[in-house]
Amino acid sequence: MNGRLRAYIASALLTLCLPAYGAEGDAALAYKKGDYTAALQQLRPLAEQGNANAQNQLGYMYANGQGVPQDNKQAVFWFKKAADQGDAGAQNNLGYMYHQGLGVPRDQAQAVALYLKAAAQGYSMAQNNLAACFESGDGVPQDYGQALAWYRKAAEQGNISALRSIGVMYYVGRGVSQDYGQAYAWYHKAADKGDPLAQFTLGYMFENGMGIPQDYAQAISWYRKAAEQGNDAAENNLGTMYYKGQGVARNLPEAQRWFRKAAEHGNVQAKQTLSTLFFQQSRTATPSAEPFDSIDAAVSDCEIKEIATGRYFLYNLTTGRLDLQAGALRVISACLTQSNAWVDKCIQESGNAEGCTKGSLVIPEKLIKDAWTHRNNLKAWEKEASK
């Protein structure tokens, strides 16, 4: 079972930052309680009187639709008022809006200029965002040296994204010599602060002995920390380790539990693994519909059902096992109703059923088409099988 995923090596995510409250204590309490209406009642008068922090907070609430309809133009309006007063948080947030083209035309150069103003004031989130721009070449010439320098400034203030990003640069050798030992050290700092991406990567490094001795128990531990925060890659890899019995006793139900969690979070590899497991289980099942009923109860994702039961349906086409054919069709009948239109559209657009995809998952179109062809025979088959 292939449950291996590469460590996270993407550039740092640009961030819109929640402002820190100053004298707006009542608004802060209301906001923390989720009472956005009360927070707005406190903030708006202050913002209209020129309080920069209140203006920044009001912009943040408009950007996220908290207590008000989501409105990027209003967010930009209030961020700009605060940024013009030199508020570093607002400069960072306005830079983010320009960078993403939210409420304003996208302008990466303007975004960098705003990040630089905030970064010069020591604002760690802006330092991190500025570093990400240098790393990717957004709005400035790509410069790994500058990226690393700004990441380090943010990391010195404990910025989690920056800590992880330095780990990434050492992991892949971006602007520095590749050094798994250094990568491990920086990932560990981010992981200790609860970052699930760094926790996943530590698990991956322990599992594969990258810069550190291979240690399945440590891999399990870090995968679990990330998985408990909903990281789908960690959920998938944790399932694989339970399936193989690496660092833990082999436990197929527990493996399936983690694969299901990963699949529910959109992990393509987990979906493919589940379909294979269900297919393997149904091949050894006794002649009844029970394995398919079990799949139907355990899995809500039509992609998994189509692959697992559809594969088994085709597997039995030449065996004369009408009961199992009927069981497979019964489970995926509703899914096939959705899939038929998709397959037809795919073929029309490409002129070829080969290589079509559904979302990010490659589906064997012949499987679905063949199953659909026989779907109308379901009642007759079930009747025959019941004799």
Give how far the C-alpha of residue 133 lies from the chain's centroid of Cα atoms, to the nearest Å.
Answer: 21
Beta bridge partners, 357, equal 362
Lowest mean pLDDT among 12-16, 118-122, 225-229, 342-346: 12-16
Question: Between residues 268 and 49, which one has the greater pLDDT?
Answer: 49
**Secondary structure class of 361 (helix, strand, coil):** strand
Inter-residue contact 162 to 131 (CB < 8 Å): yes
pTM of the prediction?
A: 0.73
Task: Tell me phi and psi for residue 288, to 5 degrees.
Answer: -160, 175
**Secondary structure class of 358 (helix, strand, coil):** strand
Give me 323's structure tokens.
């009961």
- Amino acid identity of residue 79, one-letter, is F
Q: CA-to-CA distance for 261 and 239, rounded, in angstroms?
A: 9
> Do the strands 357-358 and 361-362 form a parallel or antiparallel pair, or are they unpaired?
antiparallel
Give how far the C-alpha of residue 322 lies from the chain's centroid of Cα atoms, to the nearest Å.
Answer: 41
Where in the chain are the domains? 1-168, 270-385
- Amino acid identity of residue 329, one-letter, is L
In this prediction, residue 370 carries a pLDDT of 52
pLDDT at 174 over 90: yes
11 pLDDT tier (thresholds 50, 70, 90): very low
Inter-residue contact 243 to 250 (CB < 8 Å): yes
Q: CA-to-CA distance for 93 and 137, rounded, in angstroms?
A: 19
Q: Within a 10 A sphere around the Cβ of 278, how many other Cβ atoms? A: 25
Inter-residue contact 57 to 27 (CB < 8 Å): yes
Report how many helices (DSSP H) and strands (DSSP E) the chain contains, helices first: 20, 2
Q: CA-to-CA distance for 217 and 235, rounded, in angstroms?
A: 15
274 pLDDT tier (thresholds 50, 70, 90): confident
In this prediction, residue 231 carries a pLDDT of 96
For 15-83, the three-class secondary structure string (H helix, E strand, C coil) is CCCCCCCCCCHHHHHHHHCCCHHHHHHHHHHHHHCCCHHHHHHHHHHHHHCCCCCCCHHHHHHHHHHHH
Alpha helices by DSSP H, 177-267: 180-192, 196-208, 216-227, 232-244, 252-264
Give me 231's structure tokens.
């990281």
Q: What is the dihedral of CA 7, 12, 14, 18, to 10 degrees?
A: 80
Q: Classify domain 1-168 by CATH number.
A: 1.25.40.10
Beta bridge partners, 361, equal 358
Which pLDDT tens digit goes with each residue over 129-149?
999 999 999 999 999 999 999
Inter-residue contact 281 to 247 (CB < 8 Å): no
Q: CA-to-CA distance for 210 and 188, rounded, in angstroms?
A: 13
Burial class (CB in 10 A: 0-12, 13-18, 19+), 5: middle
Percent over 90 (pLDDT), the chain:
58
Residue 275 is inside which H or E element, if any?
helix 268-283
Question: Between residues 79 and 343, which one has the greater pLDDT?
Answer: 79
Which pLDDT tens digit goes with each residue over 291-326?
444 444 444 555 555 555 554 554 444 455 555 555
In this prediction, residue 237 carries a pLDDT of 96
Beta bridge partners, 358, equal 361
Beta bridge partners, 362, equal 357
